Amino acid sequence: MAKPLILVSNDDGITAPGIRTLVNVMKKIGDVVVVAPDSPQSGMGHAITVGNTLRLDKSLAFDDVEAWECSGTPADCVKLAKHHVLKERQPDLVVSGINHGSNSSVSVLYSGTMSAAIEAAIEGLPAIGFSLCEFGHDADFSHTEEYVEMIVRQALKNGIPEGVALNVNFPKKSNKKIAGVKVCRQAQARWEEEFDERLDPNGRRYFWLTGNFINPDKGEDTDEWALAHNFVSIVPCQFDMTAHFAMVRLNNEWELNK
């Protein structure tokens, strides 16, 4: 029986420890091809390269895996992988990550990791984005491996609904054992931004984005609740951003056609 073909990408760059962990797990499951950014692309969201050069080169980041590094964004990587690198080979699954830092709640909108997965879903490919709630470059990913393998095997066996990408987040490693896995909704939370005004060595003003994460959502069915209680969270995400409930109100209450 042929092994599944698995495309791996990320937003932290092709040399990041998180993608190495992901690739090592995927090699146990299928044939792996990596197409990832040649430099960090965190916070790029679903940006794509338009009106500028886009470069794609063979990478030596992995000894025993076909790997390519791209000058563009995570979404660019998935597009180039599907239409250029793989060509007639259709991946059975696209996985992105493992990201250094949480992509729970509203952070999913800013995430390059999840945008790679969402781009795959737009392209008609089943996809999963993996993230760890630890921002340090030396983060320990070891406790994620068995869960990554289990979730990927389940996705390959049972399928992911069409047009859906799974947003999987792991708690930071601690002395506590992972409590389990929960399928959740996205917490209704937000970032409260602040811009720290500073001066560069030449005395020119610049700003540095800071802020705090505000979570007024007290539901016990959210990704934030799951992570706070040491569960792995899975949120099914879709690229259809239509507010269907609002269509009824607009049609009934707005005088649009006189």
Beta carbons of 170 and 111 less than 8 angstroms apart: no
CB 102 within 8 A of CB 169: yes
Tell me which residue has tokens 């047009």. 163
- Given a contact cutoff of 8 angstroms between Cβ atoms, the answer to whether 13 and 137 are in contact is no
83, β-bridge pairs = none
Please return the burial class of 39, using the count of CB atoms within 10 Å of its CB with bins 0-12, 13-18 and 19+: exposed
- Ordered DSSP codes for 184-210: -BPP--EEEEEEEEEE-TTS-EEEEEE
- Report, in angstroms and rounded to the nearest whole number, the Rg of the chain calculated over CA atoms: 19
Q: Does 105 belong to an annotated binding site?
A: no
Q: Tell me if 67 sits within 8 A of 85, measured CB to CB.
A: no
> Do 77 and 70 touch, CB atoms closer than 8 A?
yes
**42 is annotated as contributing to ligand binding:** yes
Amino acid letter, 157: K
CA angle, 167 then 170 then 175, to 5°: 170
> Does residue 31 have a known ligand-binding role?
no
> Is position 10 annotated in a ligand binding site?
no
Burial class (CB in 10 A: 0-12, 13-18, 19+), 142: exposed
Give the Cβ contact number of residue 113 at 10 Å: 31
Task: Output the known binding site.
Answer: 11-12, 42, 99
Task: Output the known binding site for a divalent metal cation.
Answer: 11-12, 42, 99
